[in-house]
Amino acid sequence: MTPEESLALIKANLAEVLNAEIIDDIVLNQKRPLKVYWGTATTGKPHCGYFVPIMKIAEFLAAGCSVKILLADLHAYLDNMKAPLELIEQRVLYYERIIKSLLKAVNVDLSKLEFVKGSSYQKSEAYTMDRFKLEGSTRISVAQKAGAEVVKQTADPFLGGLCYPLMQALDEEYLDVDAQFGGVDQRKIFTFALENLPKIGYKVRAHMMNSMVPGLGEAQKMSSSEPDSKIDLLDSPEIVAKKLKKAVCVPKKVEGNGVIAFVEHVLIRALALKNGGKATFTVERRDEEPIVYDDIAKLKADYEADVITPQSLKPAVTKVLNELLEPIRAEYEASDDWKRISELAYPPEVKEVKTKKAKDKGDPAKREAALAAKAAAMTVKEADEAK
């Protein structure tokens, strides 16, 4: 690629870029690979919503960028303690396995990709001192605002959740990158980094953001905590079909439609990566010729015009998504080690069995006497009625 082509691909399919001139200077003037990091807290099982950032990471790699993926184990713990540390340790291994498998599923070269575990440097003396510096100059209200769309919000928050955005800002320096990538829900953390890293002597970075894909149910985005909003990356073909069949997909409505958004932000881009830049997304129609799309704008226009309907779109999405997931499922099934990691990282929930308390029926002898007295009374009553 020429520097101009590389720059175009780096900026493609993004919702917003902050400090784009930093990226321009590195690619066009310094003529070196852009160093980018993307972080993910290792909490719930990755779902198909992860395809959205993975598609962009794949494009970064194709554009010649050097990419680091931060497996943020301490962040996972600090976010309202969603999991104990012993589980998070196994989840780091699980995340690395499945993210690599995701990228391989769309034919991405992993040679310029590096995985970094957060605690490998976040417990160092230098990092701790820098964190103290940020903590000493950051008000609680500012920390809460920075993490408002990322960290679980409560009326009485844990101190760890307030440290979350401060650490994410510091990670830019300690990972030695030019830019951080994340969803638009990270914007407040990105602006916190821009405003506060210079206060402790560090340079500002560029920030690139992808759109958030609506969930398949009523949820605003795919989320591990909303089972109906997402499809797990290891779901069987039958479960994928079942979930997509139930997905909310209002006829002739594109805005907020999770199925349409998934085609736009994942499937068409994944097909392009797999097929050397050309995407062909086919929608079969009953009693009519199928339509082949290589452009999301045409698909959206046809959907709004009722040329294609939810009944024709959902099977097409199911087919392509299952084709994408098949090599991931196959790799998982072939690996006893990955299965072992999965069991340790996400052990089945043990439901508490409620036992009924035995009613205190009192002294057996007294109970027998009461029954006998009741029977005798009934006999007298029957005799009186007979008279």
| Residue in 74, 62, 251 with CA at minimum distance from that of residue 171 | 74
Same domain, 244 and 203: no
Same domain, 280 and 186: no
Q: Which residues contact 57 (CB under 8 A, 6 or more apart)?
A: 38, 67, 69, 103, 108, 113, 181
Does residue 242 sit within a domain? yes
Does residue 158 sit within a domain? yes
Does residue 374 sit within a domain? no
Name the pTM for this structure: 0.83
What pLDDT does residue 153 have? 67
Which residues constitute the domain of residue 283? 237-345
What pLDDT does residue 229 have? 59
| Rounded Cα distance, 25 and 31, in Å | 8
Same domain, 58 and 98: yes
Same domain, 243 and 206: no
What pLDDT does residue 362 have? 60
Same domain, 155 and 262: no
Same domain, 195 and 250: no
Distances from the Cα of 291 to the Cαs of 62, 251, 282, 288, in angstroms?
29, 18, 6, 9
* Number of domains composing the chain: 2
Same domain, 134 and 242: no
| Rounded Cα distance, 210 and 264, in Å | 12
What pLDDT does residue 224 have? 52
Same domain, 155 and 279: no
Does residue 228 sit within a domain? no
Same domain, 256 and 155: no
Asked if residues 195 and 169 have their Cβ atoms less than 8 Å apart, the reply is: no
Residue where a domain terminates, one of 329, 345, 361 = 345
Does residue 72 sit within a domain? yes
CATH classification of the domain holding 81: 3.40.50.620
Does residue 68 sit within a domain? yes
How many residues are present in the chain?
Answer: 387
What pLDDT does residue 276 have? 75
Mean pLDDT for each 10-residue chunk of the chain (387 residues)?
A: 94 95 98 96 90 92 95 86 81 95 88 94 97 95 86 76 92 98 95 96 97 72 57 94 92 93 91 82 91 93 95 96 95 96 88 60 65 62 51
Same domain, 54 and 176: yes
Amino acid at 244: L
What pLDDT does residue 149 have? 79
| Rounded Cα distance, 161 and 165, in Å | 8
Return the H-helix or E-strand segment holding 136.
helix 125-137
Same domain, 150 and 275: no
Does residue 34 sit within a domain? yes
Same domain, 168 and 62: yes
What pLDDT does residue 221 have? 54
| Rounded Cα distance, 44 and 225, in Å | 8
CATH classification of the domain holding 273: 1.10.240.10
Provide DSSP, 79-131.
TTT-S-HHHHHHHHHHHHHHHHHHHHHTT---TTEEEEETHHHHTSHHHHHHH
Q: Is 18 helix (H, G, I), strand (E, B) or coil?
A: strand
| Rounded Cα distance, 215 and 247, in Å | 9
Residue where a domain terminates, one of 210, 229, 248 = 210
What pLDDT does residue 166 have? 95
Return the H-helix or E-strand segment holding 40.
strand 35-41
Task: For the chain, report the end-to-end CA distance as a whole number of angstroms.
Answer: 112
Does residue 146 sit within a domain? yes
Residue where a domain terminates, one of 194, 210, 226 = 210
